[in-house]
Amino acid sequence: MPETTSDILLRVEELLSYDSSAPLIFSSGLFLFLFAGFLLIYNVLRRATTARIIYVILFSLYFYYKSSGLYFLLLVFAATSDFFIARALARTERPAARRGWVALSVAVNLGMLGYFKYTNFLADIANDLFGAGFLRFPDIFLPVGISFFVFQSMSYTIDIYRRQLQPLRNWLDYLFYLSFFPQLVAGPIVRARDFLPQIRRRPTVTREMFGVGVFLILTGLFKKAVISDYLSLNFVDRVFDEPLLYTGFECLMGIYGYALQIYCDFSGYSDMAIGLALLLGFRFPKNFDAPYKSATITEFWHRWHISLSSWLRDYVYISLGGNRKGRIRTGFNLMFTMLLGGLWHGAAFRFILWGALHGVALTLHKIWLAVIPGAKPSGAQMNCVNRVIGIFFTFNLVCFGWLIFRAESMQTVELLFHQIVFDFQADVIPQIVTGYVGVFALLAVGYLLHLMPARLDSFVQRTVTAAPMLLQVVMAAVLIWCVMQIKSSDIQPFIYFQF
């Protein structure tokens, strides 16, 4: 039956309205459909620089509106505030006044982040200390991706303060940078000095860029919609919700499953973001580099969420003095930086504990390197045996951190450990594997692909990149069909949307 006018108007209304239960995400069919239409007009506007910039800004704001509603105005405010602060900062020569301007930028950005992200958390602490009702606040909605665009905007003004960057003269260019939809809601955190020179350059997509972009979009979609979502819905969430219903082996596999889930979810988003940007003629830095291959905790943070870890290093750790002021101060700087990194992830004590764990681990590794002759900072410098031992130890340390990160309470952590230590039930492992054959198959596939040698991974990428466009279309169709076969009826937002 053909659609009536009212049906068409209803569909248009759905497209233009915000639904908090159905955010627009990269792995949804609606986004892929909208992006295809967006790309057609984008290609027409390649030579019309100003029109192209305005068009991308409008689509980016629409994309953010479909994720956070009217809070897209917060993004516009952040872009306006730091644009004018940066202009004033560049015109100012007196050191005290320059410090004042950059302090204002940091205060505005952290003020927004603090209000939306930490007000309820602090109110809960106050009410626990001084009695229920001591502080009353309505539940405050957390705009999607606020932590990402706030850090990105602060890096712009700080770089100008350090005289490492010249301010933009056109507000539209800065709004374009801050709102660019591929990396808007979950990174990577793109530095202004890397991105700004690309804005007014005529976008050129080479055959190699197109092929790599398609490859990254497909791999990201596979990681998110096939591995991460399936593991989450069919195993990991169940184990963490009711640990006592599962054997110790299942609880251990639930922790290992979450380690793979969060990696596939977040790196899948980053892959798709980088791939989408390539199709538009923009290059983003790499955000993940097989982190579970790391043989030390320091190497892990060189491979995991690279854009955040490098941001914390450059704007927090080094600003505090880095490793230039002795071992005790270095340890303090590492702990403070990682505690801030943990708090960045969310307003809960478990994120602070997670940051503290990594801060202690990094500090101990620094001490190890200083006092043990011949100790290596990364696995690439180790012999094969030490590297395997290091990978095993580092992976399990990271998984312990993920347990704290994922568990809703310390009671859940205790219950999972109790099951693993006192109720492992190794004799029923074959039955468990048989009962969860899909889960364990995806666990095996996910970890095998992750641990694949870098040369083999590069070979696969080059092969897909060089394949005829028709073959790439067929691969995309097959992958989308696979996603449709196993996807849940509910939209599964990316984990890092909450940060």
Residue 13: band (very low, low, confident or very high) from pLDDT cuts 50, 70, 90: low
Domain termination residue (choose one: 184, 203, 222): 203
Asked whether residue 152 falls in the same domain as residue 234, the answer is no
The reply to whether omega before 197 is within 30° of 0 (cis) is: no
Q: Is 231 inside any structural domain?
A: yes
- Average pLDDT of the chain is 87
Token pair recorded at residue 291: 């982190």
Which pLDDT does position 380 carry in this prediction? 66
Asked whether residue 418 falls in the same domain as residue 483, the answer is yes
Asked whether residue 367 falls in the same domain as residue 451, the answer is yes
CA distance 354 to 205: 41
Token pair recorded at residue 299: 């190497």
Q: Which residues contact 265 (CB under 8 A, 6 or more apart)?
A: 223, 224, 228, 232, 494, 495, 496
The residue-averaged pLDDT of 137-154 equals 84
Position 359, amino acid: G
Domain coverage including residue 384: 208-490
pLDDT digit string, tens, across residues 20-31? 667 777 777 778
Q: Is 363 inside any structural domain?
A: yes
Asked whether residue 154 falls in the same domain as residue 246, the answer is no
Token pair recorded at residue 384: 């094969």
Asked whether residue 199 falls in the same domain as residue 214, the answer is no
Asked whether residue 221 falls in the same domain as residue 183, the answer is no
Count: domains in the chain: 2
Asked whether residue 24 falls in the same domain as residue 121, the answer is yes
Which pLDDT does position 3 carry in this prediction? 60
pLDDT digit string, tens, across residues 342-379? 988 887 889 999 999 999 999 999 888 888 777 767 76
The residue-averaged pLDDT of 25-45 equals 85
Q: Is 498 inside any structural domain?
A: no
Q: Is 398 inside any structural domain?
A: yes
State the burial class of residue 402 (Cβ atoms within 10 Å of its Cβ: 0-12, 13-18, 19+).
buried
Which pLDDT does position 134 carry in this prediction? 66
Asked whether residue 284 falls in the same domain as residue 234, the answer is yes
Sign of the CA dihedral running 295, 297, 301, 302: negative
Q: Is the pLDDT of residue 2 over 60?
A: no
Q: Is the pLDDT of residue 262 over 80?
A: yes
Domain termination residue (choose one: 203, 224, 243): 203
Q: How many CA atoms lie within 13 A of 132 on its CB side?
A: 0
**Range with lowest mean pLDDT among 18-27, 100-109, 465-474:** 18-27
Which pLDDT does position 485 carry in this prediction? 66
Name the nearest CA neighbour of 499 among 156, 236, 190, 142.
142
Residue 7: band (very low, low, confident or very high) from pLDDT cuts 50, 70, 90: low
CA distance 461 to 472: 12
Q: φ, ψ for residue 207 (rounded to 5)?
A: -60, -40
Q: Which residues contact 371 (CB under 8 A, 6 or more apart)?
A: none
Name the nearest CA neighbour of 491 among 21, 35, 66.
21
CA distance 412 to 112: 32
Q: Is 9 inside any structural domain?
A: no
Q: Is the pLDDT of residue 115 over 90?
A: no
Which pLDDT does position 450 carry in this prediction? 92
% pLDDT > 90, the chain: 54
Which pLDDT does position 497 carry in this prediction? 61
Whether 28 and 491 have beta carbons less than 8 Å apart is answered as: yes
* DSSP state at residue 496: G
Residue 389: band (very low, low, confident or very high) from pLDDT cuts 50, 70, 90: very high
pLDDT digit string, tens, across residues 197-228? 999 898 888 888 888 888 898 899 889 888 99
Which pLDDT does position 221 carry in this prediction? 87
Residue 312: band (very low, low, confident or very high) from pLDDT cuts 50, 70, 90: very high
* DSSP state at residue 244: G
Which pLDDT does position 256 carry in this prediction? 97
Residue 464: band (very low, low, confident or very high) from pLDDT cuts 50, 70, 90: confident
Name the nearest CA neighbour of 25 among 432, 482, 496.
496
The residue-averaged pLDDT of 114-120 equals 85
Residue 498: band (very low, low, confident or very high) from pLDDT cuts 50, 70, 90: low
pLDDT digit string, tens, across residues 409-441? 889 999 999 999 999 999 999 999 999 999 999
Q: Which helix or strand (DSSP H or E) is residue 395 part of?
A: helix 384-406
Q: Is the pLDDT of residue 263 over 80?
A: yes
% pLDDT > 70, the chain: 92
Q: Is 499 inside any structural domain?
A: no
The residue-averaged pLDDT of 447-474 equals 84
Q: Which residues contact 200 (CB under 8 A, 6 or more apart)?
A: 49, 53, 173
Asked whether residue 265 falls in the same domain as residue 348, the answer is yes
Token pair recorded at residue 242: 């009711």
Q: Is 496 inside any structural domain?
A: no
State the burial class of residue 284 (Cβ atoms within 10 Å of its Cβ: 0-12, 13-18, 19+).
buried
Distances from the Cα of 262 to the Cα of 300, 435, 441, angstroms? 15, 23, 17
Q: How many CB atoms lie within 10 A of CB 304?
A: 21
**Range with lowest mean pLDDT among 14-23, 171-180, 298-307, 403-412:** 14-23
pLDDT digit string, tens, across residues 315-335? 999 988 888 877 888 889 999
Residue 459: band (very low, low, confident or very high) from pLDDT cuts 50, 70, 90: confident
Name the nearest CA neighbour of 414 among 235, 236, 231, 244.
244
Asked whether residue 190 falls in the same domain as residue 217, the answer is no
Which pLDDT does position 490 carry in this prediction? 57
Sign of the CA dihedral running 357, 359, 362, 367: negative
Which pLDDT does position 418 carry in this prediction? 93
pLDDT digit string, tens, across residues 81-102? 999 999 999 999 899 999 999 9
Asked whether residue 191 falls in the same domain as residue 214, the answer is no
Q: Which listed residue (302, 305, 345, 365) is catalytic? A: 345
Q: Is 163 inside any structural domain?
A: yes
How many residues in the chain?
499
Q: Tell me if residue 358 is catalytic.
A: no
Q: Which residues contact 292 (CB under 8 A, 6 or more apart)?
A: 259, 263, 391, 395, 398, 447, 450, 451
Q: Which residues contact 340 (CB under 8 A, 6 or more apart)?
A: 312, 316, 355
Considering the entire predicted model, what is its pTM?
Answer: 0.90
Count of helix runs (H) and strand runs (E) in the chain: 22, 0
Asked whether residue 158 falls in the same domain as residue 282, the answer is no
Domain termination residue (choose one: 161, 184, 203): 203
